[in-house]
């Protein structure tokens, strides 16, 4: 953790021990240890989508089908706004049998979407809130289609670099959300 005070002084601290995924197991944490942005990816993806909306490249009312034709059986009924608000009703890809059987595997966004593309929705689009990582996989595909470049590159170029987030990296394909 780091705190920057009004006078410019900075306090940093670390607690706990390292996690088996990628770091030496059992070692005490230090302040310059790096982590995958994991679920915070959703916040960055939402920021990227809103950046594209501000530029007029995407509308919150656009359907998923507009950007990813054939990507989801009910894509024409699902809006960008619903994906952002977790009200699109798309099931959680991490709960599918296929994903659970290969949880640590390498998955592209397209492969993750394919796991749920033909499943029944958990609610009608816009009817209820149902948290789903699948919504943000779909938004990454919208961003990629709208920007014309890989989502990870666009995120780095539009948000991370301008904000000076030099130690924040976007997961590579297969690193997961």
Annotated catalytic residues are 39
Residue with tokens 């089908």: 65
- Rounded-to-integer distance, Cα 61 and Cα 51, Å: 15
The structure tokens listed for 8 are: 């410019």
In the Cβ-directed half-sphere of 97, how many Cα atoms lie within 13 Å? 1
Closest CA to 64 of 55, 52, 73: 73
Query: How far is residue 142 CA from its own chain's centroid?
Result: 12
Largest CA distance in the chain: 55
Burial (Cβ within 10 Å: 0-12, 13-18, ≥19) of residue 151: buried
């Amino acid at each position: 953790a780091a705190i920057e005070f009004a006078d410019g002084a900075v306090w940093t601290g670390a607690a706990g021990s390292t996690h088996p995924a990628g770091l030496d197991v059992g070692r005490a944490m230090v302040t310059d240890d790096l982590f995958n942005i994991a679920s915070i990816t959703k916040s960055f993806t939402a920021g990227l989508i809103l950046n594209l909306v501000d530029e007029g490249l995407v509308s919150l009312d656009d359907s998923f089908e507009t950007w990813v034709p054939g990507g989801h059986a009910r894509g024409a009924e699902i809006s960008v706004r619903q994906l952002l608000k977790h009200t699109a009703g798309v099931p959680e890809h991490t709960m599918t049998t296929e994903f659970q059987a290969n949880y640590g595997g390498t998955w592209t966004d397209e492969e993750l979407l394919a796991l749920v593309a033909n499943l029944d929705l958990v609610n009608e689009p816009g009817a209820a809130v149902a948290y789903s990582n699948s919504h943000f996989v779909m938004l990454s595909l919208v961003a990629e289609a709208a920007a014309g470049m890989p989502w990870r590159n666009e995120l780095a170029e539009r948000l991370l670099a301008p904000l000076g987030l030099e130690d924040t990296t976007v997961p590579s394909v297969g690193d997961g959300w």
